[in-house]
Structure 1
Amino acid sequence: MTRENKIINSGIASTEGIVYQFYIALWQCFQLETGQKLWIEKFGDITISGEAQLETKHYTDPLTDSHPNFWKTLKNWLHPTFNHSHYKKLILITNQSFGSKSTLINWNSADEKTRLKILEDILLDSEKRHTNIEGSKSPSQNLINQRTILNKQQDKLKEIIPKIYISIEYPEMDEIYKRISDVHARLILQAKKNDFFEGLIGYLITPSKISNSWEITYEGFNEKIISLTEAYKKNTQVFPSKFLIGEASADQIQQNSTKRFIKKIYQINHLDAVSDAITHYLIASLTVLEEFKNFEVDMSSYNIYKNNLKEIHKTQHRKAKRNLLGDPMIASQNFYDDLTGENPLPFPVFRDTPIAFRNGIFHILADDKLGNFEWRLWD
């Protein structure tokens, strides 16, 4: 393997470990109880107030007796700035399985004295290997860590040993995703489960959380779950918002500038309305084509809504022509602004129908070559 490939693989593994940590943090957020808090990267990888300190590790090789994963974790928990008295448990979470000859396999069921003996035997075995195989070479960093932990920090080690639990073969990221989907997203529309998951991950890594000691509270997390569930559940009343953000790009404006609905705006010389019209047209079109399917909206509801808007336009257009005074161009622009500025007709099953969506349906109607939808007030 080339040096470049080693660097790339190392970077991928490092990134994978970070992502794995967030997946585990998210799963742990679901286990929080009223009043509890969870911190990420404040006192360690993951901290649960009054309960546990979690170190999360992702490796491709098994957890052997001398694996750096275990000994680096011990070293972290023995650091002078780490106060283990705040926690009932110190948990090493790893996707690894135990090595075939690992004596750590008996760790969780062993008492305090036996656990200490396991560590001492591992150090003794490491010293023998160093003497017999490595000879006069300098000791590895892992051996140095083992010596420091057992020879210089044994008093504190004895204090934390009873709290340590090794959680092996922890689910991989795809399995954590599946568990959250199956257990906590049962009310979510199938097509929106990924949005639900991404919304929760986004909540964990939002800048406001990071700047606030990366603290997640039970109450705040619960509110986020309620909010996302309300938005993505079956028969939700929250209007789909995926395409409601932002304005049409310069390319999108250029691509749509020759459409029939834009030509009708040019007819009344309402140039200021063109950009918004294209934005609203895209919002409505994409929402109907993509999101309504995901939200299982009956298309008959859409057709009824569109026909109702068509009737509203026809009635208001007829009235505006009847009351026409002065310059018909200015009057047509006013008619356009009045109709597109009104409170929107509610869409069946959703509350708070956005004006942008309603206006986009107007433009879809105006773009229909078989329709008779006009903004101009002259024949």
Structure 2
Amino acid sequence: MDSKLNVDATKLFEALQYQLLVAVDHCFELEKDECVWLEVYGDVTVPGKAQVEVKFYTGDLTDGHSNFWNTLKNWMNEKFDHTAYKTLVLLTTQEFGSQATLASWNTRTVADKVSAMEAILQGTEERFLASKKTGIPASLKLQRLVMDSARRGDLIQILERVVITTNAETLAQRLHRFKKNQLTPIRAEKQQQFIDELLGFMSSTELVANGWKITRLMFDNKFSELNARYMKFSNKFPEVDTDYLKRTINVSDLMEYAFVKKIQEVGGDDYIKKAALHKLIAEQTISELLGECRLQKPDIARYQSNQLNSHLSHRARQMIEVRKVTEPDELKLESLKFYHERHALEAEQLCSFENTTLEFRNGVYHLLAETQPEEKDDEFHWRLWK
């Protein structure tokens, strides 16, 4: 679809992503005992240092623009302690308009700023009188409220702290800078996932429910976790979405598979779904590792060969242990015990990957159970009989 409907809310989500990226920048600058608050005291707040109002807008920042006057009004709210901050920042993607007298804001004295704002108010008043309209426009009401002489003391204290940052990076530029500065150690195909998970953490329901406060320690822990998971040549074992894989399994569709039949012949019907999940985990992990060139096919073949040889030896030993068992039901029970013992064994490490999971190794078992070897004696079975 080329055209967007009036109900399209894409910009709202882009604005939230932009605000979160601004917060991320501030998180990198925190001292170990500091934190960032979102939406509690304003858009992005670092207690004792800065309160930042983030405006993700197109169009010029003119003298009468509500982004400027509304931000001042919010900082003048009696419930907002402006004295608690060294800097009050209006950060906007807008540029100053070509005629904006506010353009030199950051180099002006407080007295000059007040004079400029009084001139803007006077111009708005004159245009209103010339229009001969009866209803007072919202822009004029807003400017009158901010410039009210009864609140001039608060305004002056606020203006001493106000910094306006215009022409801030666009969302695409901010993302590009973040990738360039922070994600060079991360595998290229995982950089977007890294960003999505980091922003997901920044806006998680748990954080929001607890006041939307992000400490330096919390941020560092999450960033380190993502680095460990997605870093180039990372030794951390890949994670898979097991909840999604579970939803794809329909046991009734698996009855013709060899690994299922081999589980059924030892009475393990109750464990088919879990076995299918482990097999999917192994398949997805192998596919990901090969696709990202983090392993080569010989690495996987060697691991599978080791698992098969170990299994064959353990099975041969266990068949000796139960050689005197002749009752079919008892032999099936011993085979099912063997099935569980094998699944509970500590997983052999896959190459140099740390914490190779049991689910993966057990999935390799079921992949092997699907394979028909050249030698019949090398076939993977759970049963403890020929």
When normalised by structure 2's length, the TM-score is 0.90
Q: How does 1:1-379 map to 2 (within 5 A)?
A: 5-6=5-6, 8-9=7-8, 11-133=9-131, 135-152=132-149, 153-245=151-243, 248-249=246-247, 251-294=249-292, 296-324=294-322, 325-326=324-325, 327-370=330-373, 372-379=379-386
Q: In 2, are the aligned partners of 1:236 and 1:349 still within 8 Å (CA)? A: no
Q: In 2, are the aligned partners of 1:243 and 1:286 still within 8 Å (CA)? A: no
| CA deviation after TM superposition for structure 1 residue 245, in Å | 5.0
When normalised by structure 1's length, the TM-score is 0.92
Segment of structure 1 superposing worse, 302-311 or 84-93: 302-311
Residue type at the aligned position of 1:335 = F
Residue type at the aligned position of 1:239 = F
Quote the Cα distance in structure 2 between the aligned partners of 1:128 and 1:253.
78
Quote the Cα distance in structure 1 between the aligned partners of 2:36 and 2:286.
39
Quote the Cα distance in structure 1 between the aligned partners of 2:42 and 2:348.
52
Q: What secondary structure is seen at the aligned counterpart in 1 of 2:214?
A: strand
Quote the Cα distance in structure 1 between the aligned partners of 2:44 and 2:337.
59
Quote the Cα distance in structure 1 between the aligned partners of 2:160 and 2:17.
29
Quote the Cα distance in structure 1 between the aligned partners of 2:102 and 2:153.
21
Describe the shift of the 1:99–1:271 C-alpha distance in structure 2 as closer, same or farther (beyond 3 A): same
| CA deviation after TM superposition for structure 1 residue 18, in Å | 2.4
Q: What secondary structure is seen at the aligned counterpart in 1 of 2:211?
A: coil
Give CA deviations for 1:322-358 in whole Å, capped at 9, x if unaligned: 2224233222212211111111111111121111000
Q: In 2, are the aligned partners of 1:40 and 1:46 still within 8 Å (CA)? A: yes
Residue type at the aligned position of 1:373 = F
Segment of structure 1 superposing worse, 45-54 or 233-242: 233-242
| CA deviation after TM superposition for structure 1 residue 96, in Å | 1.1
Describe the shift of the 1:229–1:160 C-alpha distance in structure 2 as closer, same or farther (beyond 3 A): same
Aligned pair count reads 373
Residue type at the aligned position of 2:85 = Y
Quote the Cα distance in structure 2 between the aligned partners of 1:370 and 1:169.
66
| CA deviation after TM superposition for structure 1 residue 95, in Å | 1.2
Describe the shift of the 1:62–1:115 C-alpha distance in structure 2 as closer, same or farther (beyond 3 A): same
Describe the shift of the 1:50–1:291 C-alpha distance in structure 2 as closer, same or farther (beyond 3 A): farther
Segment of structure 1 superposing worse, 136-145 or 351-360: 136-145
Quote the Cα distance in structure 2 between the aligned partners of 1:243 and 1:302.
21
Describe the shift of the 1:291–1:81 C-alpha distance in structure 2 as closer, same or farther (beyond 3 A): farther
| Alignment gaps of 5+ in structure 1 | none
Q: What secondary structure is seen at the aligned counterpart in 2 of 1:90?
A: strand
| CA deviation after TM superposition for structure 1 residue 251, in Å | 4.3
Q: CA RMSD in A?
A: 2.1
Segment of structure 1 superposing worse, 275-284 or 288-297: 288-297
Quote the Cα distance in structure 1 between the aligned partners of 2:61 and 2:252.
58
Give CA deviations for 1:158-196 in whole Å, capped at 9, x if unaligned: 111121111112122222222222111222222222232
Q: In 2, are the aligned partners of 1:62 and 1:99 still within 8 Å (CA)? A: yes
Give CA deviations for 1:79-110 in whole Å, capped at 9, x if unaligned: 11111111111001111112222122111121
Quote the Cα distance in structure 2 between the aligned partners of 1:77 and 1:258.
69
Residue type at the aligned position of 1:378 = W
Residue type at the aligned position of 2:240 = K
Q: In 2, are the aligned partners of 1:40 and 1:47 still within 8 Å (CA)? A: yes
Q: In 2, are the aligned partners of 1:235 and 1:349 still within 8 Å (CA)? A: no
4+ long deviations beyond 4 Å = 244-247
| CA deviation after TM superposition for structure 1 residue 291, in Å | 4.7
| Alignment gaps of 5+ in structure 2 | none
Percent of aligned pairs with the same residue?
29
| CA deviation after TM superposition for structure 1 residue 279, in Å | 0.7
Segment of structure 1 superposing worse, 285-294 or 308-317: 285-294
| CA deviation after TM superposition for structure 1 residue 299, in Å | 3.4
Give CA deviations for 1:277-327 in whole Å, capped at 9, x if unaligned: 001011111111125534723333222111111111111122222222423
| CA deviation after TM superposition for structure 1 residue 266, in Å | 1.8
Quote the Cα distance in structure 1 between the aligned partners of 2:160 and 2:290.
55
Give CA deviations for 1:27-53 in whole Å, capped at 9, x if unaligned: 221222232211011111110122100
Quote the Cα distance in structure 2 between the aligned partners of 1:140 and 1:86.
33
Residue type at the aligned position of 2:355 = D
